[in-house]
């Protein structure tokens, strides 16, 4: 007697308190993800053909095709014309890229952005102070000089580059991916806070204070300087604030 097609387990269902997505489409997506998690598929590998997946799971080929399109939309797989479907490189940056759209569409995200940054960036500055290599200051110096010479049109990109420079020094790819995921929201905030020369001057002073603490490899001072900087920018952004 032929064994029935494999069905994926749903470990959260038993609790009764967590509502989970279920159904054939979800099962196909979970099956492919589990092939990756179990090591049966690695980045760059070709997936089984649609017909094989459909037979294996006891579903139709159109449903398999829809499931693969869903996984492609979140950068887990990619379709290559005439060659099939492949696992992407699965880098955190690539997998988290779709989040930037979600962050922008959530109402009130600009205010939430400051809370997220307060959680992450002060600690990132502290870690950068601890992990900074001896020969890793030329890019920082160049960024600070360019920020000092920037205007309203060039400041936002340079400001974001400065903060990303700090996060990169943590050597935490996931943290860097999250920070890059909120980049578009940061541009929206900077469109408000970087309009005046006075505001850009204040940011420049604060950036150099943060950089000085990192350069001195003083994690507590770097953390405190970043907190003060973010608090000042938030006060400026919130309605009714200067």
Tokens for 242, please give them: 């200067």
Q: What is the pLDDT of residue 66?
A: 94
Rounded-to-integer distance, Cα 188 and Cα 153, Å: 13
pLDDT confidence tier of residue 187, bands split at 50, 70 and 90: confident
Q: What angle do CA 87, 88, 89 make, to 5 degrees?
A: 120
pLDDT for the residue 23: 85
pLDDT top residue among 77 and 186? 77
Provide the pLDDT confidence category of residue 162 given band limits of 50, 70 and 90: very high
Strand partners, 221: none
pTM of the model: 0.67
Q: Which domains does the chain have, with CATH numbers?
A: 13-90 (1.10.10.10), 96-237 (1.20.120.530)
Token pair 């459909």: residue: 54
CA nearest neighbour of 178 among 112, 58, 74, 95: 95
The answer to whether the CB of 93 falls within 8 A of the CB of 53 is no
Residue 12 pLDDT more than 60? no
Closest by CA to 126, choosing from 199, 44, 222, is: 222
CA 231 to chain centre: 22
């Amino acid at each position: 007697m032929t064994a029935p097609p494999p069905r994926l387990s749903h470990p959260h269902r038993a609790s009764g308190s967590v509502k989970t997505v279920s159904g054939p489409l979800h099962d196909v997506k979970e099956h492919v993800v589990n092939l990756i998690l179990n090591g049966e598929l690695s980045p760059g590998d070709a997936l089984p053909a649609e017909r094989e997946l459909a037979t294996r799971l006891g579903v139709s080929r159109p449903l398999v095709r829809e499931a693969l399109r869903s996984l492609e939309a979140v950068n887990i797989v990619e379709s290559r014309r005439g060659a099939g479907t492949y696992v992407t490189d699965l880098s955190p940056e690539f997998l988290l890229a779709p989040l930037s759209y979600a962050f922008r569409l959530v109402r009130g995200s600009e205010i939430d952005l400051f809370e997220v940054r307060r959680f992450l960036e002060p600690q990132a500055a502290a870690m950068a102070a601890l992990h900074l290599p001896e020969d890793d200051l030329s890019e920082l110096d160049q960024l600070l000089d360019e920020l000092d010479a920037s205007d309203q049109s060039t400041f936002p990109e340079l400001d974001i580059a400065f903060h990303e420079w700090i996060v990169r020094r943590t050597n935490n790819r996931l943290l860097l991916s999250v920070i890059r995921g909120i980049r578009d929201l940061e541009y929206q905030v900077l469109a408000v806070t970087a309009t005046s020369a006075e505001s850009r001057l204040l940011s420049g002073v604060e950036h150099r204070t943060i950089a000085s603490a990192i350069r001195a490899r003083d994690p507590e001072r770097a953390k405190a300087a970043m907190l003060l900087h973010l608090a000042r920018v938030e006060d400026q952004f919130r309605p009714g604030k200067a």
